Amino acid sequence: MAESVSPRKGFSAPTDLEAEHMPSARPENVVSRATVGRDSVHLPAEWQGASLTVVVPTYNEVSNLAELVAALFALPLPNLRLVIVDDNSPDGTGILANELAQRYNQSHPRITVIHRPNKDGLGTAYVAGIRRALADGADFIVQMDADFSHNPAYIAQMLGVMHSTGMDVIIGSRYVSGGTLDKMWSWWRYLLSWWANFYCRSILKIRVRDMTAGFKLWQRSALQEIELDTIRSNGYIFQVEMAYLSEKLGFHIIELPIHFEDRRIGQSKMDVLVKLESIWRVWELLWRHRKRVSEKSASVANRRPRMSNRRPAANR
């Protein structure tokens, strides 16, 4: 079994037993958009009843939203709830979200729609949605994209791994062994993604392989400890900031291999300005959290004996 990074918390590579129950991330084994259903994965009854909320920011996702909602509510998780955070999408995504809420909320509340007047960024959308999920009492919170690049079929599996291992965060990762990328990705896009992850990991000195991953399952307690009031990043650097704090605050983390599918409908929201912003924002968040991270590191060092810092095999 792989070593932990710290005596109390840190990374954990899946054991052989856990790996047997993890999905292959190869494209041919991933449940397609049209066939995600209750027979996709089997969970013990007590796990199926988990209070889990999925947070999905949207901007011009009218072509994907109805199908995504149907796929989510077809999972073997009867208490699953959904928070949609729409930034006044000009294509009518917000209107569709209201219609879906009316349809699915007839027996009990299942969908909450947060309407924001402007396109205020991915980070603030996630924070708004997570705050609402916490206020509504969710024990587990998933963050994911609306464009099916994150397959809903993985959610039950992520929850099963979290229950069986006691992890604080499960990351749906493209860059651990078994993770794969859509064949439609160009070499330039792959190189840019690889470089961004290498750059962030080098500057921030952390071990998460997929720093920019937007598909995560959180324990309620982890999000409360992060203190969302301290999160300032907007855009895609939000994912980096959350991963950075998760590791530096000592959370138990597993990166679960997934297949990352390219969006088939609509346009990517990542433009050149967002990419350029991410370069200097890494240094900004390193500076902004320096005191908190330093105090946390000193506290752990004073209370626990030092252990080997050797990187687990799955994260090398």
Residue 245: what residue type?
Answer: L
Q: What distance in Å separates the CA atoms of residue 143 and residue 199, rounded to the nearest whole number?
A: 23
Q: Determine if the pTM surpasses 0.85.
A: no
Q: What distance in Å separates the CA atoms of residue 102 and residue 88, rounded to the nearest whole number?
A: 18
The count of C-alpha atoms lying within 13 angstroms of the C-alpha of 70, restricted to the half-sphere facing its C-beta, is 9
pLDDT in tens, the chain (316 residues): 333 333 334 444 443 333 333 444 433 333 333 333 334 567 777 778 889 999 999 999 999 999 999 999 999 999 999 999 999 999 999 999 999 999 999 999 999 999 999 998 899 999 999 999 999 999 999 999 999 999 999 999 999 999 999 999 999 999 999 998 888 777 877 788 888 889 999 999 999 999 999 999 999 999 999 999 999 888 778 999 999 999 999 999 999 999 998 765 555 555 556 566 667 789 999 999 999 988 887 776 554 443 333 334 344 3
Q: Which of 52, 59, 55, 222 is nearest to 129 (CA)?
A: 55
The count of C-alpha atoms lying within 13 angstroms of the C-alpha of 245, restricted to the half-sphere facing its C-beta, is 24
**E-state strands within 38-152:** 52-58, 81-86, 111-115, 140-143
Residue 34: what residue type?
Answer: A
What 3-state DSSP class applies to 198?
helix
Map out the domains of the chain with their CATH numbers: 16-315 (3.90.550.10)
Q: What distance in Å separates the CA atoms of residue 2 and residue 165, rounded to the nearest whole number?
A: 13
For residue 184, with 0-12 CB atoms within 10 Å meaning exposed, 13-18 middle and 19 or more buried, which class applies?
exposed
- Angle among Cα 123, 213, 13 to the nearest 5 degrees reads 135
